Structure 1
Amino acid sequence: MKTYLAFLRGINVGGHHKILMKDLRELLNSIGFKDVKTYIQSGNIIFKSDIESNSLLEEKILNVIKDKYNYSIDVVVKQPQDVQAILDNSPFDQSTTEKAYFILLKNSPSSQNIEQIKAIHYPDEEFFVTSIVVYLYCKKGYGRTKCNNVFFEKNLNVITTARNYKTLNKVLEISKDD
């Protein structure tokens, strides 16, 4: 069994798509995932599975949530080493990395979309796009950024979900507790 990290987009935000983490853990255990743990209320899940396909795991999670809650929730699944590599490869210095956001990409954007988005600039915002993540630093905070999930989904034509440095580190830490 391998350890996986799942990041759900848009649950328990502003009273929308409400799912209690206790219920989510029970739901994922019921479909055969093992050692299911969650971190905070925004859909950060650590679990083990025999399934060795991130896309199949994403589909299973999406479908079980849709069946139970009638929510269509975007899911991005990574392995711990993938998330560690994302953090290790930040183009920012350490102090900026610790204030950065990591826009996790479900699929790789086209090279054409990556090139087009590189031409977009906003004051006090800096981003670097790779095939698996967008590194984002917003001097005035994520709540005020023009470069949010919707911006990257629209311009890169991929599903995304954002996490900050602290959250990614904590999820990794929890994944190592097994």
Structure 2
Amino acid sequence: MSPYLALPRSINTGKRKVLKEDLLGVAQDAGFKSAKTYLASGNLVLWGDHEGGAALERALEDALEARIGLRTDFMVRSPAQVRAIIDANPFKAEAVDHPSHVIVNFLKSPLPAEDEAILRAAITGPERFVVGACELYLDFPISMADSVLDRDWKKTKRSPVGTTRNWNTVMALAGMMDA
């Protein structure tokens, strides 16, 4: 049985509440033998005999919609992909110094070059980012709350489909996959 990391977009923020029991039910509905959640943001580690990729993302999206009527995107990663994300982190020293301010934005698809240029133009403070294969790595040296990057990026209407997790969460989820 292979584990997968499944990260739904924008749940348990504001009005989009999903109970842990429903998330575990979604995993079961999608055919997984076992699943665990981490924190309240919808993080799932799943074990089963599935193939990853877009088909698995759609299966989870469909299962969530069928179960509670909520449609949202899932970003799914295999253990090898999670390990590659960790190994490719361009902010390793920062992840040790301030791990809750180092963010990985797990994207549904690679970031187009024109979107990268728009994002670079939106930076007005000390924030930095590096584009990965299907991830954005962001470092907020001061604080995310004081950053205008996210707000200004959303104003462009070009914000990519993805979901963010801080470095502490990424490492905890990787540990769950290894267990």
Aligned pairs (5 A) from 1:129-148: 129-148=131-150
Say whether residues 1:19 and 2:18 are aligned partners. yes
Give a deviation string over 1:85-133, Cα, whole Å, max 9, x none.
1122111242346230111111012233334433443212111122311
C-alpha deviation, 1:23, in angstroms: 2.5
- In structure 1, give the amino acid aligned to 2:5: L
Q: Which residue of 1 aligns with 2:75?
A: 76
C-alpha deviation, 1:77, in angstroms: 0.4
Aligned pairs (5 A) from 1:5-154: 5-14=5-14, 16-96=15-95, 98=99, 99-148=101-150, 151=153
Query: For residues 108 and 85 of structure 1, do their structure 2 counterparts lie closer, same or farther at Cα, with a shift above 3 Å needed?
Result: same
C-alpha deviation, 1:153, in angstroms: 10
Match of 1:85, SS? helix
Aligned residues of 2:123 and 2:149 also touching (Cα < 8 A): no
Q: Report sequence identity in percent.
A: 26
2: CA distance between counterparts of 1:30 and 1:153?
37
Match of 1:143, SS? coil
2: CA distance between counterparts of 1:18 and 1:112?
33
> Normalization by structure 1: what TM-score?
0.86
C-alpha deviation, 1:71, in angstroms: 1.2
Backbone CA RMSD of aligned residues: 2.3
Unmatched tracts of structure 1, length 5 or more:
none
> Normalization by structure 2: what TM-score?
0.86
C-alpha deviation, 1:35, in angstroms: 1.4
C-alpha deviation, 1:76, in angstroms: 0.4
